[in-house]
Amino acid sequence: MQKLKNTFAGFWKYRYLLQNLITRDFKLRYRRSVLGVAWSVLNPLLTCLVMFLVFDSIMKGLRGEGIPHFAAFLLIGQLLFNFFRESTSMAMESVLKNAPLLRKVYIPKYIFPLEKGCFAFVNCLFSFVALALVLLFSRTPVSWNTVVL
């Protein structure tokens, strides 16, 4: 219990560093992009549109009817998969990429993977705008069961 308390105290001590690292990655990612943050919304929307057109026509051909609210299910799965893929792949290499900084100054090594996970979460939140648009246009009913499941 004491070790966990010390870990959270260390995390609280480096919260400003974590915030600055997330801001730095955010600026670096969208620095030379014409669309900027809008690309985080458009990319899942366009990918979902292409996959919906292909797979919905296949489903209608095989079963005679489509899957109700297929676009919403497809986008939810795509967003969650992209979040986990992005956070784990970036977190695995984050310590190696920041090795020069770790050699110069004492920083807990867990800050860098945590920062990459938080950055992927911020990107995922922007992508949820695309999900809201799909839910709105496909008239998918949203209830507590939808949110929990």
In whole angstroms, what is the distance from residue 139 CA to residue 131 CA?
12
- Average pLDDT over the chain reads 81
- The number of folded domains in the chain is 1
134 touches 76 (CB < 8 A):
no
pLDDT digits (tens, 9 = 90+) for 59-105: 666 555 666 777 888 888 888 899 999 899 988 888 888 888 888 88
pLDDT reading at 112 higher than 90: no
**Range of 131's domain?**
2-148
75: closest CA among 124, 37, 38? Answer: 124
Helix 15-29 vs helix 2-13: angle between axes, to the nearest 10 degrees? Answer: 50
pLDDT of residue 84: 93
Q: Return the minimum-mean-pLDDT range out of 7-11, 69-73, 124-128, 130-134.
A: 7-11
d(CA 9, CA 4): 9
Question: What's the pLDDT at 144?
Answer: 75
Q: Report the alpha-carbon distance of residue 92 to residue 80 in Å, rounded.
A: 18
| pLDDT (0 to 100) of residue 36 | 72
